[in-house]
Amino acid sequence: MQHHSLSDSPFSSSPLSGQPLSNPQPLSPELEIIHQLSPLWAQRFTQLACFIWEHLDQPLPVTELAERVELSSYYFHRMFKAAFGEPVGSYIRRARLILAADHLLETDRPVIDIALDCGFSSPQALAKALKKQTGLTASEIRAARNQPGLTTITAIHAHLGQPTQSEQNPTQEQTIAAQLSFVRHTCPDRHFQCVRVKQATITDSYERWHAMASDSQQEMISLTLGNPHTDTLNDLKVWVGYAVEPDSANYMLTGGEFLSVRVSLTSTLGYYAAWEALIMYLVSEGLQPANDTPALEITHNPHNFEGPVDITLSVKLMPG
């Protein structure tokens, strides 16, 4: 079968065969703390975090949340703060703002719909909360996707993260990302069946993948071509797909040396922080990415919505 070039078709990627990335590193403040708990409480609070994120459009009374982890309200408040690093009310407010900002950046949905779906009583309530937390209006956040580079988008997420006292890493997510362990490894040629995503957004990527692979138990492959320093979000080219045998592929990712990191995430804050940390690692180590090869993401649990997202980020390196 003839394989296409980058000029007329998607890139390539596939499970990282033979690479030592078997366990994801937690890249959310709550996950980092939760993983230090006993297995029983780690499981309960991980499930609680996922429940909160999946029900931000609904009231989340403390009594109901406490019942889900089998605690009284009295003990729940104290154990939640110990496990999540902040009070439950603060955590839920930030989660709703993070979700609202994601919708503003990735969709053209009316602000009123976004506000209600994210648990705000009105567009005015959302606007007030966004302005207080980020210093930006909903329109200004939405316009960030048309600005060159991802600096503004990264700054927006920094305002929404759990704060620290550090000027270098203003959020907990960035602090954790700065401590990630990256792996250089060699991969063989890998083969994929891919389709182009209309918009370079996380939301569209997942929707397109589930449409093409609804019955597949494969890992989700996402490939992004573009310059994160100069391109707008709309300029990036994204394909999604899954690994196949060579005779079924419409693209092959040639083998070579890659730099990778595997992380577990509960929100887009950790996702952007991980990519930012990977780029900084390239710079600090004097490594040159292969600019004509797309960046690779492998979502290892695309069908599992009961736990954190388990994802590997990877870039091919230039020889030498």
What pLDDT does residue 8 have?
Answer: 34
- CB–CB of 268/102 below 8 Å? yes
Domain boundary among 79, 112, 147: 147
Measured in whole angstroms, the distance separating CA 101 from the mean position of its chain's CA atoms is 13
What pLDDT does residue 5 have?
Answer: 32
Mean pLDDT value across residues 288-309: 84
In angstroms, rounded to a whole number, what is the distance separating the alpha carbons of residues 263 and 81? 23
Residues 314 and 175 in one domain: yes
What pLDDT does residue 168 have?
Answer: 64
Single-letter amino acid, residue 39: P
Tens-digit pLDDT profile for residues 213-230 = 766 668 999 999 887 667
Residue 63: domain span: 29-147
Neighbouring CB atoms inside 10 A of 179's CB total: 11
Domain count for the chain: 2
Tens-digit pLDDT profile for residues 63-111 = 999 999 999 999 999 999 888 888 999 999 999 999 999 999 888 899 9
For 262-279, b/e burial (b = at least 16 CB within 10 A) is bbbbbbbbbbbbbbbbbb
Measured in whole angstroms, the distance separating CA 148 from the mean position of its chain's CA atoms is 20
In the predicted model, is pLDDT for residue 309 greater than 70?
A: yes
Residues 115 and 160 in one domain: no
Residues 269 and 320 in one domain: yes
Chain position carrying tokens 């595997």: 262
Tell which residue, 21, 30, 22, has the closest CA to residue 173: 30
What pLDDT does residue 202 have?
Answer: 80
CATH number at residue 52: 1.10.10.60
- CB–CB of 10/250 below 8 Å? yes
Q: How large is the greatest C-alpha to C-alpha distance in the chain, in angstroms?
A: 65
Q: Give SS3 for 260.
A: strand
Domain boundary among 112, 129, 147: 147
Residues 228 and 201 in one domain: yes
> Which distant-in-sequence residues (6+ apart) come within 8 Å of 160 by Cβ?
94, 97, 98, 101, 133, 134, 269
Residues 50 and 115 in one domain: yes
Residues 33 and 55 in one domain: yes
What pLDDT does residue 186 have?
Answer: 93
Chain position carrying tokens 């600090």: 284
Structure tokens at 257: 């040396």
Residues 193 and 292 in one domain: yes
Mean pLDDT value across residues 180-200: 91
Residues 283 and 191 in one domain: yes
Q: Give SS3 for 238.
A: strand
Structure tokens at 38: 């006993």
Tell which residue, 224, 193, 195, has the closest CA to residue 311: 224
Q: CB burial class (10 A; 0-12, 13-18, 19+) of residue 135?
A: exposed
What pLDDT does residue 64 have?
Answer: 95
What pLDDT does residue 193 have?
Answer: 92
Residues 34 and 115 in one domain: yes
Q: Structure pTM?
A: 0.81
7: confidence class by pLDDT, cuts 50, 70, 90: very low
Domain boundary among 147, 179, 199: 147
Q: Which DSSP category does 246 fall into? A: G
Residues 193 and 278 in one domain: yes
In angstroms, rounded to a whole number, what is the distance separating the alpha carbons of residues 107 and 101? 10
Residues 10 and 129 in one domain: no
Residues 131 and 256 in one domain: no
Tens-digit pLDDT profile for residues 155-186 = 888 888 877 666 666 678 888 888 999 999 99
* Residues 118, 120, 126, 130, CA torsion sign: negative
Tens-digit pLDDT profile for residues 237-259 = 899 999 999 999 999 999 999 99
What pLDDT does residue 144 have?
Answer: 86
Question: Which residues make beta-bridge pairs with 299?
Answer: 220, 311
Tens-digit pLDDT profile for residues 133-157 = 999 999 999 888 888 777 778 788 8
